[in-house]
Amino acid sequence: MKNVVFFSLFVLANFLGTNSFYSQNAHTIFSLKVVGIETGEWFTFKDNLGRETSVNHSTTTNLGGFVQGSQYKIFQKNGSRNCKLIYNEGTVTNTPIIVVANCSREAPIPITIFSLKTTGIEVGEWFTFKDNLGRETSVNHSTTSNLGGFTQGSQYNITQTKGSRNCKLSLNEGTVSSNAVTVLANCSKTSVTPSNPSNPTTNNNEANPTVPKNKIDLVTRNSENTITNTFVESSSPSIGGKGEDEGRFVALMMFGNGIDGSDGKFRQIYWRDRKTGETKLISKANNGEQGNKDSFAPSISADGNSVVFESYATNFSENDNNRTRDIFLWQKSLGTVSLISKSSQNIPSNGESFEPVISGDGKTVAFTSYASDITDLGSGFNTPNVFVHQISSGSTDFITKDFENGKASGGSAPSISENGKSIAFYSNNHRLVENDNNKLWDIFLWKNGNVKRISVPNSGMERNQGNESTSRIVYPSISGDGEKVVFATTSSTLVENDTNTFQDIFLYDIRNSSLKRISTLENNAESNGDSPILQGGKVGISFDGKWISYNTNASNLGVSKGNIIVQNTENKKIFTITNTSGIGTGNPVISRKGNFVAVPANKPLDSRFSSSGIFTIYTNINP
C-alpha cells in the first residue's frame, strides 16, 4: 500500500487578548504534506478562503494562515482521482491538528471510532479530555461520548486537561487497530491515580525521611572517616533512596586514594550508604581489581541498588580493545559489573559510549554512543545517537531516528523517567521530527516510541538563538513521573517578556504541552545572572517535577553568586541551600521528593570536616 498523506496543521499564534478565548489577530498556519502522487499527475487543493495549492509530486508546502476562531475547510479541486480527506474542516484553534488525506490508488484509509466512558462525576463538575489530534471533549456528568475516528496503524493518546481532580484513565494510549476502543475515565473521588496511569506516581503516603542530626553531610570520605576527597578530586553526584531512606545513597566519582582499595591513580566510581557510613569502590573488575583507567558519570536507581557509569577501563570486560569509553552496570545484589554498551556479538562496541542514565526502577539504561554495531543504524550517520537498553532482556535500540527513513540522525544528553518509557534528550539535527526549521539545537521527548520537539514557544513559532552557539550542547532533565522536563537556554523568545539576556531555566509540562520560565522571582521579576552557571548545564528535578535545584550567578534570587537554591516550579518560591561568599559549586542533584540535594562545593560546608568536596544538604522544604 502506498504511503498515506498527512496534512499537518501547526499553530503559530500567540494569545494576545485576555477577554476572549481567541486573540483578534492570532493565526494558525496550515501545512500540506502530499505523498503518493505518481509521475505526470497534478492535484489541486483549495481552502474556503479561495487559496489554491497545486502539486505534482510528494512534497510539503505552506497553505497559509487561518484566523483562530474562524471556520476552515480544505478540499480537493481537481486531480486524476479523488483523495480521501479526514479532519479537513472545522474551527481553527491554537491546538495542533493532523488532517489526513489518501491520494493513492488504494482503498481509503481505514478508521476506528473511539468512545470515552466517564464515571464518578458529581453535580456541578466539569471535566475535559483531549486527544493527540487536538480534539477536546468536555462532560459534566457520567456518560459515554463519541471521540471520533483515528487512522488505523497510527498512535493515539487521550489525556485529561481540566477537572476538579485527576481521573484514572485506562486504555487511553496505544496503536489504533480495527477494534473499537472505549477509553475509561474514573473520576470518582476515590480515584487518586493521575490522568496517565501508564506513568509511575509518587505514593502520597510515602514517608518523609527523619530530619537528620547533621543537615550537611560530607560524602567524599571513606567508611572510617579518616580520608576525605576535595572538590577538585571528586564530581558527578547522583542521589538515590526513597521513603524514609530518601537521600540515603549517593553514587559519585572520586580519585579516592586509600579509599576501599583505590591507589588514587585513576578516577573511580564510589557508592556511599549515608545511613551505615559505608563507602564502597564499585568501578572494579569482578576479580576485585580496581579500574585501570578513568571512570565518570555515575547514575543511581531510586532504591540505590544499581549504578551505571562510563569508563575507559579495559579490565571490566573481556576483549575490551576499542580504546574508548564504555557503559557499565553495577548491581549491589550481585556485587558485579557488567557491560551495557556491547555489540550484537556481545563484545565492547566499536565506538565511544558515554552519558549513561538509569531509570528509577533500575530496569532501563539510556546512553549516548558513536558506535555502529550495537544495533542497525542505517548508513551514513556521523553523529552520536541515544540508545535504550533493557537490562532484563539485554536488548538495545536507538531512538534518534530520521522521521521519514528511520536512519540514525543524532542526539545526546539523555535523561530518563522512573519507568524508562520517557526520555528527554538533545539534538541539533532537524530530521528527528517534521517542520524543524530553526537551524538550532533542540530538546526532544521520546515517549512510548514517539519523538516530539519540546523546546518550542507556546505560540508554535521557532525560537531565536539567544547569545549562544547554534550547536551548544544542552542537558535536559525529566521528572521521575515522566511528566515534566527542564532545560536551560539564553533564547529570549520561548516565553513572553524575556529581556534579561541571561540563561534561564524553562519547564515543559508534558500533560498540557506548555512551556514556562522558572528561574525568576515569585513575582516573575527577571533574574540578573545565568541560571544554572554552566551554559546548557543540567538542572536537578524531583520525581513529581515540583522542585528543581541549580546554582546561579544571579544576585537577586536570595543568594550571592555561585550558590545553590531549590525552587518550587508551581509557585516559584525559592529556598536557600547555600549562601557562602566566594563559593564555587557544581550542578546540584535533588532527591526524590526534594528533601536533599547533593552538590560539589569548593569550600568546607560540613562543620565536622575541614575538607571541601561533595555534600548532601537537607533542604527543609517538607517540614
Would you say residue 375 lies in a domain? Answer: no
Cell of 441: 539545537
Q: Report the length, in residues, of the chain.
A: 623
| pLDDT class of 261 with cuts at 50, 70, 90 | very high
- pLDDT of 613 strictly over 60: yes
Would you say residue 51 lies in a domain? Answer: yes
Does 30 share its domain with 86?
A: yes
Does 11 share its domain with 60?
A: yes
Does 168 share its domain with 87?
A: no
Q: What's the rounded Cα separation, in Å, for the pair 617 and 620?
A: 9
Instruction: Return the higher-pLDDT residue of 203 and 67.
Output: 67
Does 136 share its domain with 34?
A: no
- pLDDT of 96 strictly over 70: no
Q: Which of 80, 102, 124 is the last residue of a domain?
A: 102
Evaluate whether 425 touches 412 at the Cβ level (below 8 Å).
Answer: yes
- The confidence score (pLDDT) of residue 363 equals 96
- pLDDT of 539 strictly over 60: yes
Domain containing residue 133: 111-186
- pLDDT of 16 strictly over 90: no
Q: What's the rounded Cα separation, in Å, for the pair 422 and 424?
A: 7
Does 59 share its domain with 19?
A: yes
Would you say residue 204 lies in a domain? Answer: no
305: left (phi over 0), alpha (psi -120 to 50) or beta: alpha
- The confidence score (pLDDT) of residue 351 equals 92
Would you say residue 155 lies in a domain? Answer: yes
- The confidence score (pLDDT) of residue 192 equals 39
Residue 477: name the closest of 550, 424, 428 by CA. 424
Compute CA distances 33 → 81, 98, 101, 207, whole Å. Answer: 17, 10, 9, 52
- pLDDT of 1 strictly over 60: no
Would you say residue 389 lies in a domain? Answer: no
Compute CA distances 354 → 214, 295, 309, 488, whole Å. Answer: 35, 10, 8, 21
CATH of the domain at 169: 2.60.40.1140
- pLDDT of 397 strictly over 60: yes
Task: Point out the least confidently predicted range of 140-149, 260-269, 422-431, 543-552.
Answer: 140-149
Does 39 share its domain with 124?
A: no
- Number of domains observed in the structure of the chain: 3
Does 57 share its domain with 173?
A: no
- The confidence score (pLDDT) of residue 193 equals 38
Q: Which of 186, 212, 233 is the last residue of a domain?
A: 186
| pLDDT class of 452 with cuts at 50, 70, 90 | very high
Q: What's the rounded Cα separation, in Å, for the pair 116 and 133?
A: 15
Hey, which residues does 152 pair with through a beta bridge? none
- pLDDT of 614 strictly over 60: yes
CA 156, 391, 298 angle in degrees (round to 5)? 105
Would you say residue 46 lies in a domain? Answer: yes
Cell of 328: 557499565
Compute CA distances 590 → 12, 44, 334, 429, 494, whole Å. Answer: 35, 56, 27, 30, 25
Average pLDDT of the chain, as a whole number:
87
- pLDDT of 415 strictly over 90: yes
Beta strand 574-576 with 564-568 is antiparallel
Does 149 share its domain with 132?
A: yes
| pLDDT class of 321 with cuts at 50, 70, 90 | confident
Does 43 share its domain with 67?
A: yes
Cβ neighbours around 307 below 10 Å, total: 28
Q: Which of 159, 186, 213 is the last residue of a domain?
A: 186
Task: Point out the least confidently predicted range of 171-175, 291-295, 467-471, 474-478.
Answer: 171-175
Does 22 share its domain with 79?
A: yes
Per residue in 469-497, pLDDT (tens digit) is 877 899 999 999 999 999 999 999 999 99
Would you say residue 207 lies in a domain? Answer: no
Does 89 share its domain with 120?
A: no
| pLDDT class of 132 with cuts at 50, 70, 90 | confident
Does 582 share its domain with 464?
A: yes
Helix (H, G, I), strand (E, B) or coil at 567: strand
| pLDDT class of 276 with cuts at 50, 70, 90 | very high
Mean pLDDT of 161-168: 87
| pLDDT class of 198 with cuts at 50, 70, 90 | very low
Residue 68: name the closest of 454, 459, 456, 434 by CA. 459
| pLDDT class of 60 with cuts at 50, 70, 90 | low
- The confidence score (pLDDT) of residue 109 equals 58
- pLDDT of 110 strictly over 90: no
Would you say residue 278 lies in a domain? Answer: no
Instruction: Return the higher-pLDDT residue of 8 and 527.
Output: 527
Helix (H, G, I), strand (E, B) or coil at 243: helix
Evaluate whether 70 touches 108 at the Cβ level (below 8 Å).
Answer: no
